[in-house]
Amino acid sequence: MPSRRRAALEVNYLEQGFMKKWLGVIGVMLVVLIAAPWGVGMVTEQQWQQTTLEVNKSQPYFTVETARYQRDLFGAEVEGTVHFRNPAHPGEAHQLGYRGEVSHGVTGSEITFYPDQASADLIAGFFPDRLPTVTLSTRLWGTVEIEYNVPAIDRLDDDTGESLTVTESYGWARISDAGNDLEVDLRWPGLVARGPEARFAVDDVRVTQTMSRLAGNVWTGKGKVSMARLQAEYQNQPAVVLEDFALQSDTSAEGDERFSSEVRMDIARIASRDDESGPYEVEFAMENMEVVAWNRLVDSFIDLRKLSSDQANGVTSRQALVEKQMNLMMNVSDAVKALAGAGMSVGIPAFSVATSHGEVSGNLMLRHPELSDDDRAAMTLVMQRLTGELSIAIPVALAEAKPGLMTELRPLIEQGFLVRDNDTFRLEAELKDLDVDLNGQIIPLPPMI
């Protein structure tokens, strides 16, 4: 009996120890489940502040302003305004109010944005059933995913006869590595706008982009913008149709100090009732660019853009604006010299347009050699060592079939800048030592260009 009692006591003790252990585990889990959303909420608020700061700094088209961010344990509410700007007209601005509902999880948060009440009332006529939404998901390890959805629009104005039909658009973006990596994928199937005197249609617009920050304003990666078709009609004019437009970019790093970038534009066909041309192919390239010098140049232009905004908004006095503008232009000049002195090549390696009368083609490239540190320090003018070439070929039949084009070309032909080579007008130019050899004619260039 004593042995049985002792065994029972041991079993009871073990069961109590087992239960205590699991109660401890469960307690820890409960603490984690309760505390984690609080910690995630705090990180989410910090990520939101950092994300809006980076977005506002990285582009000139809009700024996100946060008026209120109210955080509790399992969620938060955010309100603010998006200010849209036109860089070409700094004084022109529009705004859209927003509100966001935030839910906190164990490893991340999700924020769903809607137009605020005033904005929702303004656009309710376009979206009577469902408003556009933007959903932002954040993770503790720094990844931010954004999804947007804009419902379809089908609107008719009975008074004017104008109508707008827009298919549902959607897309996503992923930001990681503290904002240094970015992926974007957007889809817009199209729209049709009609009026008594005009019709405009766009089909299948797509945007894809992968980017990684190399340093400062230099990003590497690939991107593509494409559009299947665009058609425009106005009054009794023949419709103009553009088909299969694509703009592709590819930027690659050469170590940590240099980068090269290529941009290619293709259009399969442009047609109207009386004319048709295509395909169009244009390539643009920047080769062997120094990262530090490029960032210096971009920063100078950003400062100039900010100065234009200050001028439009009356922030700075006229005298101060003139002084700042002069200093900034000197900064731009110094940055260009630094970029050229580091060695570079920039231009249009090739372009071509196929027409019913033959192909128009050509290229334009400019190069500057890399200089020693002493020569770079003593450099006063970019033009002194700049070299390059320009080549253009235009079918004679095309010029003869287009009276307006021939009017533009005739002065060049009379001066010998454009010469006839069988069935083609050609322009061949070479730049070297501040001289341009233009079809055999030497033309000195002012060094201050």
Task: Encode pLDDT of 236-257 as tens digits.
Answer: 788 899 999 999 999 999 888 9
Q: Which residues contact 275 (CB under 8 A, 6 or more apart)?
A: none
Mean confidence (pLDDT) of the chain: 81
80-92 mean pLDDT: 72
Task: Look at residue 23 and tell me whether its pLDDT is greater than 70.
Answer: no
What would the two tokens of residue 257 be?
Answer: 């100090």
In which band, very low, low, confident or very high, does the pLDDT at 366 lie, cut at 50, 70 and 90? very high
424-445 mean pLDDT: 90
| Inside any domain, residue 351 | yes
175-204 mean pLDDT: 89
| Inside any domain, residue 383 | yes
pLDDT the model gives residue 21: 45
pLDDT the model gives residue 30: 38
d(CA 253, CA 103): 39
| Inside any domain, residue 80 | no
Task: Look at residue 113 and tell me whether its pLDDT is greater than 90.
Answer: no
Task: Look at residue 430 and tell me whether its pLDDT is greater than 70.
Answer: yes
130-157 mean pLDDT: 81
Helix (H), strand (E), coil (C) string for 284-327: EEEEEEEHHHHHHHHHHHHHHHHHHHHHHHCCCCHHHHHHHHHH
What pairs with residue 154 in β-bridges? 165
| Inside any domain, residue 69 | no
**What residue numbers bound the domain in which 426 lies?**
275-449
143-154 mean pLDDT: 86
Q: How far is CA 248 from the centre of its chain?
A: 12
| Inside any domain, residue 370 | yes
Number of domains in the chain: 1
Task: Look at residue 175 and tell me whether its pLDDT is greater than 80.
Answer: yes
| Inside any domain, residue 402 | yes
Task: Look at residue 93 and tell me whether its pLDDT is greater than 80.
Answer: no
> 363 near 390, Cβ under 8 Å?
yes
| Inside any domain, residue 173 | no
In which band, very low, low, confident or very high, does the pLDDT at 186 lie, cut at 50, 70 and 90? very high
415-426 mean pLDDT: 90
pLDDT the model gives residue 35: 42
Q: Could you give the angle at the alpha carbon of 283 between the alpha carbons of 280 and 285, nearest 5°? A: 170
| Inside any domain, residue 204 | no
Task: Look at residue 317 and tell me whether its pLDDT is greater than 80.
Answer: no
d(CA 305, CA 316): 14
pLDDT single digits (tens) 37-68: 545 566 667 777 777 777 777 667 778 888 88
